[in-house]
């Protein structure tokens, strides 16, 4: 079972009930649970949206889109029903924060979903969990059933005549791409997880053709806290245009890996060296992937930077899903790049040519390169393919594969060249597979 960690620098808003048994509805109520929903019912949609806007909360799914603004895009009047869709597909390598939210505080997700529903005038929400999270699905399903039993879900919630809200829980069955919002809707509609053409955007035409708000589970779970503490108070915890706190998962070569709630803008260096206890076994830092596998890598000398969307963008990378992956000096970037592209190759939905073929060719090339059959031209080819994927694919997965790849070959080109010259990692992480070995992980 995942262990909870803690550090004095943490500012616990979202995680304040973690470890307190809040999955139990009575315990949750005791800890101020479901107050925010009742307040939201009393104050009405406009107030909810204004409070969310004031909070400066930006989506925790990866793209960092301002949540209040997203909710305000939904047309007030719609012929088709409106929906809330909670994205709990959490599959970005390096990310396991929603995992904890579902386990430790499932009612916060439920409350947030109801609040979002109240804000946009929706009567139905879906909580979609990745298929691997079956034990979490059981927890969430129980929480939903308890909320129904208490009259917090269903008809006339909290005794309010005409205020109805239903939640359906849903499971995926193994597909990273289904985390992309439009592919998520497709999956929820019982189809292959292929993204949709945009526009129209989900706020206008979404699930079952109705206007839909899609938010990450952590984003949604913040809503009740924000309504209770006030938008401005939440905003103040973070930096300019990056309100509040965020769950950061720190993994890899650190002494105390774990999920920590830190204020937005917190120093990346401190997160690694103080909060997570520094590099494991006294080794030196080599590089950091700051926000999940799709974010371009930062070198050891690039970590004096605040953990918020804008500072990361300025540094040429992304805050992404908040999954900080730390690499010590022993890691071979060739190996790391290979494992990264293997993931994207495996998870590409295959719809568009640049992503389907691009990830496949980079993977093939890197596999051969790693096995010792590389040439100098391979490094250029990898860069060429990634360059030509950037911005040209149907959905951002193609970019998510190209961006880190470009980071690896640009920032660590010499390592690729040394590898060609015969240098090998002292401590290899991947056994060399003979070239041409059949597909890996879960391939069909």
Partner 1 sequence: MADVTFIVDGKTLTAPAGTLLIEACKSHGIEIPAFCYYPGLSLQAACRMCVVRIEKQPKLATACTTTVAEGMNVTTESPEIAQARKATLQLLLGNHPLDCPVCDAGGECELQDMTFKYGAADSFYAEPKNHRDEQKWSPVVYFDRPRCILCYRCVRMCGEGMDIFALGVQNRGSSSVIAPNIPAQLSGVVENGTELAQLDCEQCGMCIDACPVGALTSGTYRYKTRPWEMNHTATVCTHCGDGCKTTLGVRSVSDGSEIVRGDNRDKSGMNGDFLCNKGRYAFDFANNIERLTSPLIRKDGKLTPVSWDEALTFAGNKLRDLRQDRGPNSIGVIGSNRTTNEENYLLQKFARTVIGTNNIDHHRTADFVTLATSLQGATGRFASQHDVEKSPAILLVGGDPTNQAPLTAWNIRTNVRHNNARIYIANHEGIKLRRQAKAFVQVAPFGYGAFIESLKADNDFAKSLHAEEQLVVVVGNELRGGELASLIKALPHAKFALLADYANSRGASDMGLLPDVLPGYQSLAGSTIANEYAAADTPGLDLLAMFDAAAAGNLSALYVVGSNPVKRYGIDAVTLKSTFLIVQDLFLTETAALADVVFPAANLYEKSGSVTNSYGDLQLVSKAADKAGTRSDFELIVRLAGHMGHDLKTLVPFGKGLRSDMGQSRGAQSGEADRHSVWMTANNLEPKTSPFDPFAILDEIQRLVPGYDKLLRLQLLSGNDQHISPSASGLVQITTSRKDLVLPSADTLFTSGSLTRYSPMLQDVQRHQSTEVADHLASAD
Partner 2 sequence: MATIPNSIFTPTTAARFDKLATIYPVKRSALVPMLLYAQDEIGYVSDPVVAEIAQRLDLLELDVRNVLSYYSMLRTVPAGKYNVQVCTNISCMLRGGFELLDHCKHTLGIGHKETTPDGLFSLEEVECIGACCWAPAVQVNYDFHDDLTPEKMDAVLDSYRAREPK
Residue tagged 């010590």 (tokens): 328
Tokens of 135: 């034990």
Question: Quick check: 194 and 153 in contact, CB under 8 A?
Answer: no
Assess 130 for contact with partner 2 (CB under 8 A). yes
> Considering CB under 8 A, how many residues would be counted as binding partner 1?
40
Nearest distance, CB of residue 54 and ligand FMN, angstroms: 17
Angle between helices 45-55 and 35-43 (to 10 degrees): 120
Task: Determine how many CB atoms are found less than 10 A away from the CB of residue 69.
Answer: 13
Count of residues that interact with partner 2, criterion CB under 8 A: 66
Q: Which of 142, 157, 127 is nearest to 37 (CA)?
A: 157
- Least CB distance from residue 189 to partner 2, whole Å? 6
Which of 172, 243, 244, 407 forms a contact with partner 2 (CB under 8 A)? 172
264 binds partner 1 (CB under 8 A): no
Helix (H, G, I), strand (E, B) or coil at 431: coil
Do residues 60 and 86 make contact, with C-beta atoms less than 8 angstroms apart? no
Nearest one of 259, 262, 224, 263 to 243, comparing CA atoms: 263
Q: Is 393 in the site for ligand SF4 (CB under 6 A)?
A: yes
| Residue 131 makes contact with partner 2 by CB under 8 A | yes
Q: Which helix (H) or strand (E) holds 313?
A: helix 309-314
Shortest distance in whole angstroms from residue 189 CB to ligand SF4: 17
Q: Is the dihedral of CA 244, 107, 60, 291 positive or negative?
A: positive
Give 161 or 437: the residue with its C-beta nearer to partner 2.
437
Residue closer to partner 1 (CB basis): 331 or 352: 352
DSSP 8-state secondary structure symbol assigned to residue 300: G
Scan residues 377-396 and list those touching partner 1 (CB under 8 A).
377-378, 381, 384-385, 388, 391-394
Is 361 near ligand SF4 (CB under 6 A)? no
Q: What DSSP character marks residue 319?
A: -
3-class secondary structure, 301: helix
With CB under 5 to 8 Å by kind, the binding choice for 131 among ligand FMN, partner 1, partner 2, none is partner 2
- Considering the rule CB under 6 A, would residue 345 count as an interface residue with ligand SF4? no
Cis peptide leading into 79, omega within 30 of 0? Answer: no
Part of the chain binding partner 1 (CB under 8 A), chosen from 128-136, 245-253, 357-365, 424-432 = 357-365
HSE-CB at 39 with a 13 A cutoff on CA atoms is: 18
Q: Rounded to the nearest whole angstrom, what is the least distance from the CB of residue 228 to partner 2 in the complex?
A: 28
Q: Which is nearer to ligand SF4, 209 or 350 (CB)?
A: 350
What's the closest the beta carbon of residue 366 comes to ligand FMN, in angstroms?
Answer: 20
Residues forming contacts to ligand FMN in the complex (CB under 6 A) are 59-63, 65, 87, 89-92, 176-177, 179-181, 214-216, 219, 395-397, 400
Residues forming contacts to partner 1 in the complex (CB under 8 A) are 175, 177, 192-193, 197, 345-354, 356-361, 364-365, 368, 373, 375, 377-378, 381, 384-385, 388, 391-394, 436, 439, 443-444
């Amino acid at each position: 079972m995942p262990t909870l960690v803690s550090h004095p620098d943490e500012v616990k808003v979202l995680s304040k009930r973690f470890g307190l048994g809040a999955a139990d509805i009575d315990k949750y109520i005791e800890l101020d649970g479901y107050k925010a929903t009742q307040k939201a019912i009393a104050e009405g949609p406009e107030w909810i949206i204004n409070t969310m806007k004031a909070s400066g909360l930006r989506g925790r799914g990866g793209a960092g889109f301002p949540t209040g603004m997203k909710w305000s895009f939904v047309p007030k009047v719609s012929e088709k029903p409106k929906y809330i869709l909670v994205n709990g597909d959490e599959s970005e390598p390096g990310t396991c924060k929603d995992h904890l939210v579902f386990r430790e505080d499932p009612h916060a997700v439920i409350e947030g979903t109801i609040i979002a529903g109240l804000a946009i005038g929706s009567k139905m929400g879906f909580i979609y969990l990745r298929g691997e999270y079956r034990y979490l699905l059981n927890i969430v399903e129980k929480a939903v059933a308890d909320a129904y039993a208490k009259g917090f879900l269903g008809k006339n919630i909290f005794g309010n005549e005409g205020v109805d809200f239903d939640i359906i829980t849903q499971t995926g069955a193994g597909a990273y791409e289904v985390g992309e919002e439009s592919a998520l809707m497709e999956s929820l509609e019982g189809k292959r997880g292929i993204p949709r053409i945009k526009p129209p955007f989900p706020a206008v035409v979404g699930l079952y053709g109705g206007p839909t708000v899609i938010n990450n589970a952590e984003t949604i779970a913040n809503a009740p806290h924000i309504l209770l503490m006030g938008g401005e108070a939440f905003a103040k915890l973070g930096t300019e245009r990056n309100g509040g706190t965020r769950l950061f998962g720190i993994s890899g070569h650190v002494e105390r890996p774990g999920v920590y709630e830190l204020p937005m803008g917190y120093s990346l260096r401190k997160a690694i060296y103080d909060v997570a206890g520094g590099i494991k076994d006294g080794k030196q830092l080599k590089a950091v992937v700051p926000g999940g596998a799709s974010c371009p890598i930062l070198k050891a000398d690039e970590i004096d930077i605040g953990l918020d969307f804008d500072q990361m963008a300025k540094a040429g990378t992304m805050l992404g899903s908040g999954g900080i992956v730390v690499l010590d000096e022993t890691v071979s970037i060739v190996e790391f790049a290979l494992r990264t592209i293997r993931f994207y190759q495996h998870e590409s939905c295959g719809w568009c040519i640049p992503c389907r073929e691009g990830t496949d060719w980079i993977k093939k090339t890197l596999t051969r390169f790693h096995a010792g059959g590389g040439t100098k031209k391979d490094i250029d080819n990898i860069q060429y393919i990634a360059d030509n994927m950037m911005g040209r694919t149907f959905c951002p997965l193609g970019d998510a594969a190209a961006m880190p790849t470009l980071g690896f070959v640009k920032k660590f080109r010499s390592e690729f060249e040394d590898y060609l010259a015969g240098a090998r990692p002292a401590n290899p992480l991947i056994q060399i597979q003979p070239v041409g070995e059949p597909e890996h992980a879960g391939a069909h």
